[in-house]
C-alpha cells in the first residue's frame, strides 16, 4: 500500500476553563479556577498544564520530533467538546481523526502502543449520533511561536 503524504496535522485543545479569555483575564485566575476543567478530571498536574496550554507545547514538540514533522504542518485548534483529539489531513484531501469520549486513555494507549489495544474495554465508546462538533480554527497566539 502506498504511503500517503501528510499535508497538515491538527492537535486539538478544549480551551479548558479559560477558553475565550484574554491573557489579562487569565493572569488573575486562581489555581482552583484552573483546576475546574469543563470536560474531564485529569488530575491536578495535567489539568494545570491544560489550563496554561503547556500540554499543547509538549504535544507540538512531540509531534515535530517523534514523527519528524515540519513545524508548518502543525496546527492547534479548539475543539471544545474534547471528542476529537487530533486530525491528520492527507495530501489526497482525506482526513483521519482520533475520536473518543472525553478521555485520554484511548489516545494515550494508541500513542504508547502504536496500535489499538483489545485490553481497553468499550466503556469509552463514542456515540456517533452526537449533535454537533464545534471547532475554532484559530491558532493559539499564546504558543504559536514556540518553534
Q: Write down the pTM of the prediction.
A: 0.79
Specify the pLDDT at position 138: 57
pLDDT tens, residue by residue, 52-95: 888 888 888 988 988 899 988 998 888 888 888 899 999 999 99
Distance CA 104, CA 100 (A): 8
Dump strand ranges (E) for the chain. 6-13, 74-78, 84-90, 95-99
Mean confidence (pLDDT) of the chain? 81
Distance CA 92, CA 5 (A): 8
Cell of 139: 491558532
| pLDDT higher than threshold 70 for residue 140 | no
User: Structural domain boundaries of the chain?
Assistant: 6-124
141 and 78 in contact (C-beta within 8 Å)?
no
* Confidence bin at 145 (pLDDT 50/70/90): very low
Amino acid at each position: 500500500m502506498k504511503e500517503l503524504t501528510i499535508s497538515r496535522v491538527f492537535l486539538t485543545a478544549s480551551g479548558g476553563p479559560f477558553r475565550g479569555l484574554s491573557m489579562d483575564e487569565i493572569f488573575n485566575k486562581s489555581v482552583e479556577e484552573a483546576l475546574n476543567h469543563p470536560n474531564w478530571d485529569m488530575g491536578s498536574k495535567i489539568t494545570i498544564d491544560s489550563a496554561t496550554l503547556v500540554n499543547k507545547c509538549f504535544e507540538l514538540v512531540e509531534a515535530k520530533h517523534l514523527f519528524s514533522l515540519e513545524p508548518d504542518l502543525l496546527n492547534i485548534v479548539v475543539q471544545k467538546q474534547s471528542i476529537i483529539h487530533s486530525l491528520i489531513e492527507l495530501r489526497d484531501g482525506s482526513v483521519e481523526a482520533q475520536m473518543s469520549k472525553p478521555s485520554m486513555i484511548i489516545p494515550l494507549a494508541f500513542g504508547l502502543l502504536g496500535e489499538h489495544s483489545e485490553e481497553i474495554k468499550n466503556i469509552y465508546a463514542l456515540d456517533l449520533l452526537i449533535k454537533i462538533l464545534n471547532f475554532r480554527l484559530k491558532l493559539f497566539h499564546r504558543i504559536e511561536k514556540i518553534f
